[in-house]
Amino acid sequence: MSALIELESIARSFIVDDAELKILTDINLRVEAGQHIAIVGRSGTGKSTLLNIIGMLDTPTSGEYRFNGASVNRLGEAARAKVRGGGFGFIFQSFNLINGLTTTENVYTPLLYASGSQFWTRNTRAKQLLEAVGLESKIDQSIERLSGGEQQRVAIARALSRRPQVILADEPTGALDVHTAASVMDLLEKQCHESGAALIVITHDLAVAARAQMAYQLADGCLHPIDIRQGLA
């Protein structure tokens, strides 16, 4: 049986000043539905590049990527965008919320590109998600009036709006204090568990990475399995 995500010998390089800069050289990764994966590594090792490839925001230079058993390599840009929109939810360190919109409007923004009932019930769906992340008292409030922790909760609700199969979180606690970070991770894990979504977290924080079922270090363009929990014990 195929995994939800399968990466085989993925490489990504860029041309800089007529020279090839190799960022990823041999990435192999298998992620099952509902699995929680953490990826750690030093700045500049290609963590965000890898996340962009998994989320179909970028394409590998070589290697094979399969999503739900189907080859992503063979998809055109329009087909990739369709799979990306319905299959992935994104969470960023800087929240990437839209100032001038309310909490509800930010959460249902991805649903503006949906069709059928997902589009017409977007307002109800957004309010249900805000309640699920503990922000029922912040429904329809201005984003600018929220704390950092509250804004990240809105970002989590937005990522879940289209019921994605995968949540990709790039340093989701990087802008938060330790207590708020733990609370946000508790919430993110709970929501993914309830929805059945896989969770892939890029982080510098070993305490955040230790919460995952599997952890990898990205170094020299490759992923290496690591046991962070033993190191923190």
Per residue in 73-96, pLDDT (tens digit) is: 989 999 999 999 889 999 988 888
Q: Look at residue 205 and tell me if it is in a domain.
A: yes
Residue 18 reports pLDDT greater than 90: no
Q: Look at residue 71 and tell me if it is in a domain.
A: no
pLDDT confidence tier of residue 176, bands split at 50, 70 and 90: confident
Buried b (16+ CB within 10 A) or exposed e, 85-115: ebbbbbbbbebebeeeebbbbbbbbbbeebe
Identify the DSSP state of 102: B
Which DSSP helix (H) or strand (E) runs through 14? Answer: strand 5-16
Q: Look at residue 81 and tell me if it is in a domain.
A: yes
* pTM for the whole structure: 0.91
In this prediction, what percent of the chain has a pLDDT beyond 90?
69
Buried b (16+ CB within 10 A) or exposed e, 21-37: eebbbebebebeeebbb
Instruction: Estimate the share of the chain in helix, then strand, then coil, as percent rounded to the nearest 5.
Output: 40, 30, 35
Range of the domain at 107: 34-60+76-232
Tokens of 19: 């020279």
Q: Are 227 and 215 in contact (CB under 8 A)?
A: yes
Q: Look at residue 98 and tell me if it is in a domain.
A: yes
> What pLDDT is recorded for position 231?
55
Give DSSP secondary structure letters for 212-223. SSEEEEEETTEE
Q: Are 210 and 232 in contact (CB under 8 A)?
A: yes
Give the C-alpha separation, 207 to 124, whole Å: 35
Q: Are 183 and 211 in contact (CB under 8 A)?
A: no
Q: Look at residue 11 and tell me if it is in a domain.
A: no
- What is the mean predicted confidence (pLDDT) over 129-155? 92
Half-sphere exposure of 156 (CA within 13 A, CB side): 32
Number of domains present in the structure of the chain? 1
Half-sphere exposure of 78 (CA within 13 A, CB side): 0
Close Cβ partners of 146 (under 8 Å, ≥ 6 residues apart): 103, 138, 154
User: For the chain, what is the mean pLDDT?
Assistant: 91
Q: Look at residue 13 and tell me if it is in a domain.
A: no
Per residue in 187-233, pLDDT (tens digit) is: 889 889 988 899 999 998 889 999 999 999 999 999 999 988 665 54
Which is nearest to 24 in space by CA: 216, 157, 228? 216
Q: Please report, for the domain that includes residue 221, its CATH number.
A: 3.40.50.300
Q: Say whether 34 sits in a helix, a strand or coil.
A: coil
Q: Look at residue 3 and tell me if it is in a domain.
A: no
Residue 181: count other Cβ atoms within 10 Å of its Cβ.
Answer: 21
What does residue 199 show for φ and ψ, rounded to 5 degrees?
-125, 120
Q: Look at residue 27 and tell me if it is in a domain.
A: no
Residue 35 reports pLDDT greater than 70: yes
